[in-house]
Structure 1
Amino acid sequence: MATEPEPQGPARRTPPAQSARSAAAVNALRTAPSLAGGGIVPGVPSRGLPTRTGDSTPDWLEPAMAANGIGSFDWDIRRDVLEGDHRACAILGLESGRFDRSSAAFLAMLHPEDAPVVRRRVERAVAELGQCGAYYRTVFPGGELHAVRFRGRVLADAFGRASRMVGFVWDATVELHKRERAGELAALREERSRFIKEAARALSEAVTVRDVARVFTELPLPGLPPDGLVLASLEAGRLHVLGASGYPPEDMHPYHRTPLLPTHPAAEAIRNRAPVFIATRDEYRERYPEAWPQLAEGGMRSAWAFLPLVASGRPIGVCLVSFDDDRRLDADERTLLSTLGGLVAQSLARARLHDAEHELAAGLQRVMLPRTVPSVPGVTTSVRYLAAGSGLQIGGDWYDVVPLPGGHVGLVIGDVQGHDVHAAGIMGQLRIALRAYAAEGHPPAAVMARASRFLADLDTDHFATCTYAEVNVDYGVVYAVRAGHLDPVVRRADGSATVVPVTGGLPLGVAPDEEYRVTRFSLDPGETVVLCTDGLVEARDMDLDTGFARLCEAVSGELPGRGESPRDPIEVLADRIASQAADSTEREDDIALLLLRWDGPAGGLAAQQLRRRIGQADLARISELRGELRDALRRWGVAELVDTAELLASELVTNAIRHTDRDAMFTARLYREPGDGRVAEAGRARLRVEVEDESDLWPTRRTPGEQASSGRGLMLVEALADGWGVEPRGSGKRMWFELSAEPQGEPAES
């Protein structure tokens, strides 16, 4: 407790003899023995004071002291005896037998923090023959804390020595309470100021409406802890309860999504743009009789504060603060709640806008991306899309799975430049165009080239990166084309992960005449191709090499086997890859992820048919076809036919392309004759290759000269094939040849 400043006496030099006497008096103050006897003696006469009638005290002094509650005391310094009147005893809270009239007993009554101050001031007054005063606290016998003020002066004897101290005491408990209350109010104001800062910070960090409701219902209001909190938005005249604490859910049901009655206090708060405070249930019933019956059914609360939520001059909701007991809020408490309502209103308005933008972005993204991934026999796919951690949460990343002619499948992963609605619109157009090109049966290089020209023709000043891969489902061969995008990652059968280098070209839309090169690689049954956009492997704090290393680590981890988990292992792998970035709220780019696992043909045997369309102007496709035929024959277990079949098939396809103006259809089938019944031995194998075109011009066999550069195709077919011929097809023709292979056991597994 604060005390008065020590009085400063006049600057003078104390004679040595007087100093010795003062020191003796001070020592007596500290060490004087207690005297037996009880209490302070009331009615001590006043000494050394002037009188009007010869009495020791004037007639007017006692009534004046009594009227002001002032008591007097007299301390004999030499004998260390302290005496006082009855008012002093009452002010000090003394009882008979409790006080032995010594200075030590008096100091023992004081608060431990105040006793040293009082002792020091009295010692100085005795030493200087001056006056002193102090404010101190004392504890009454009942335990209550009181405060006392005293003022005294030291009197000297005839020899100039300190003899007595006389003075007055008066009760200062009211002042003590005022100081305590002022301290409490100052602490409460500081706590409320700190609360407003913390609430403003928490509400500013709330992103969604759900976040705002959670923050509001968890706020610890200082000085007036509420028993119930409710946050509700106003939409089309109806209340939507967003969050509540201190109320059972069944109490909120009658108010949720119901019209707000004009006689309800919440309606008045919204209508007047001012808080409504209700201190008692009687006041509620008197002010809002029509709304009272609905409230009376609950019967939980006794005081309420309805705070309107107003943002940009428009009411958007109301929040309720309620108490179980009657509560009349003072001006500071009302100001605090009004300020809180303003903060909640601004935060809720911002969160509603964010949720609306997020819903718009999510809806647009759902429309742009495939609703479902088609199921293709022989492969299993899994896709993931993660929106950016901030911003509009919509961009140009996309994936697609396209069923192709012949039962094969095309994989598309891409990213349009930018992260806005414009980029998303371009992405939608480009995805549809690329899907159409692929579904028409164009080879990967042609699909990518046409998509690039399409984007350039849109004249959007945007480019896009893309990887397109055509997967031969029959025997697991992948033909990949890359336009400025990332290389694919393959999870091998042994669980390892490798980045497959794919020859790259310029991004789509940069150079309309760009020609893209195809990279071919094979999959074994159970191996998985992983395609992703750069948001997964690149960030401000992560370079591309580090990102690919993390991706390969996630891809190569151990997966549950078939039957060990209710989920397909490819779904587990997709979740594990996506989880690397799913928890990052600072992610600046979207992530598209596409996984395809080649399961192999049913029964573990490769399908024994290969069917491909060859574009009339696509001579490079012939080379790709030869490679596919070689892989197919090896997987079918007739590797000895590879060289001959490749040569003759090339001759037939080249002949159809050169001498017609339409596309050609290539088909290779392997037929097996029944064996002799032995398990390990299959029957005789017969390969039939057909090339169909729409030309009615039949091939003519001729004998070329030694210097001729053409004309030997049919001669080779006739010489090497076991049989060949030409068949009409109504419009066009079909050329074919057959090769036979001796049985060598079961076909190789795919």
Structure 2
Amino acid sequence: MRDVPEWSGGARAGPTAGHADPDGADPGPRSGEPPGGGPVVLGALPLGGESRLLGCLLVAARPGAGFDADQRALLELYADQTAAGLEAAAARTLPARTEPSPRTGPGLLPRRGGAFVMTVHTGRMAADDSVLDLLGIAPDAFDGNVSTLLEHTVPDDLPALMAIVEPGRVVGDQQLAFRIRRPGGELRWLGLRCRVQTDARGAPARVLGVVGDASYLRPSVDDVSLVQRLSAALAGATTIREVSRVVVDALREPLRADRVAVAELEGDRLVVTLLDPPQPDAWPESWRSEWRSEWPDASCHTLPTLEGALREGHVSLWPADTGLEPGLAGIGPGGLAVLPLPAEGRTVGVCLVGWDREHRFGAEERSLLTATAGMVGQALTRAHALDAGHELATMLQRSLLPRKLPDLGGGTAVARYLPATRGLEVGGDWYDVIPLADGHVALVIGDVQGHSAGAATIMGQMRTAIRAYAVEGHPPDVVVAHANRLLVGMETDLFATCCYVDLDMEEGIAWVVRAGHLPPLLRLPDGTTLETAAEGGPPLGVLADAEYPMTEWGLAPGTLLALVTDGLVESSSLPMEEGMRAVRGLLAAADPADPGRVADELLAHHHRRDDDVAVLLLRYDGMRVRPIRARWAVWRLPDAVMHARRFTARTLRSWSADGALDMALLVVSELVTNAVAHTRGEVRLDLTLAGDRLRIAVNDTSPRAPVRAASTDWEATGGRGLLLVEAVSTSWGSLPLGGGKQVWAELTVERTP
């Protein structure tokens, strides 16, 4: 086996550029002046990663010897280990911020370290004397087996170490802090960094590693006790939520932290599993904007510093005024700790610990956080295996719910969804907000019977069907009746409840249809709350010919409309009547200026839930600028387009909106020509002016959507109409309608005084 390079510590790894030894000894040769004189080959390695560069490590070799591939890899690993030691030592010795920073010299480098090379499939290892000395093994007593070294490892740290050296689990670059017990009983912290080399087939063949003294990780007696309690608590945690709660309880109080977040890493997204405190206003704005369910999730690309820390893979400590991006600085303005959570050779998540006041990081905290990270990563992986069915159903339900609600003219809509905290399955609660034609919007909330992946699947089908029927232009009672017949025809044993509200955002008139669901709640502008007396029909999927009557209301600007599922107001210990009274009381006391906060307050009192909970709120503000509309029935005559153009010109002039008349007439000509030439039946022209936006829509009885020409051949006599419409309008499109379609285009117009 190849011999491994040996060094006695970072202070002697190469030229020190003239730094004096702390003990007063001669510092040795100057830079470029090798021992014994003569030229040398110098190597320079950066200390630190992309997110924080700490310095440079210089190493020297005789000409002709240089550095082979193994030595290069080991030196890179040693540079990473040295950077970690520098960061920890600097944090331990950092003076007040008003004093100058300490000079980085040999005294801050790891004093002891060594290298090893291990053959994966045989477990044979070549280690230099420094490694053996750290472990307390005499060189002549080492038999070359990795098992001999593992015998000295503290049992609690053995699983994490085995994950690196076992043949079937060796992957990528690894780093680990672990404890060994020397022959005299002394407990010592060591830092390990290693790199895997593969054979011609891509299978792991050898592991190159460096081991260094990590005494800066030596914990206090209190920290040892805390780690032991954390280990015991994690052993009993069987779900991801329980693991996250154990971590928050273990870290926030002992570290006096103001915020703790635990998140899993799914691809390039962080999926939060627990935040403490749970209130959205305690977290940065970028996190609140991603708050669509119980917890937010965000792309790692929006947090480049965090992305870099996860890539480097070791605990990062950021003091106050580091200059982090707002999404991180808002978590810990006084200091932020980032703990990548490793397991099975990869980073499975991250834990963020933040302080509001300026926080001074010490070596003891690094010890605690480093030990915590390894245990939590393993616990999360174990919880995933135990909780796989629940995670699959939860992922299915997340994908079926809308990720973002649309912006509405004349109102603001927010939604929240919470899964049940009991059982391993999820329910079929859903919600949706559907913009419709003529300034209408549909608000839908529903609940499929049962708690299973099947219920979530039916939920997705019902949501899609109701959205399709609504967009086609059917009235509310017809939409619900169609959805009922669809569910009956699916021959499933499940049924669903639903509440559908069609709201005219211009007039404030709402039409409500209930299918076995709770009635909506209203909070009037004066604070009065009402449980509306809306008529209802049976749940969906029960009777094929069921009728669903409509109830009409009028809403004043400032009214808050609340749609909820029964999980919010009913449980085994809470009768529905009492639950409805409690929700009405919360609505009456809430400030409707922030609907999102109102939704959070409704959910804040439900920590233990027997059922899923969905909440959909809309604050109706009314439209500041009322749209103006005009309609024209197009006659099927040879001069039909001329009459449509004349109607458009008269209308726009009467609206003082003839600033874009030529463009509007061009769009009308093309859309009406296509409808008359390619369809049969009634054709209608609709003009709508809202502010400076003119919408031109042509309705016909053909369900076939218009097709834009695939190629731009300007010598052709047909196929150019839609190209012209696209060129002159700000946007255009096609909507299906009951028995036909609508082709529309929007223009920006200037209104004349």
TM-score (norm 2): 0.39
Q: Give the structure with higher Rg (CA).
A: 1
TM-score (norm 1): 0.39
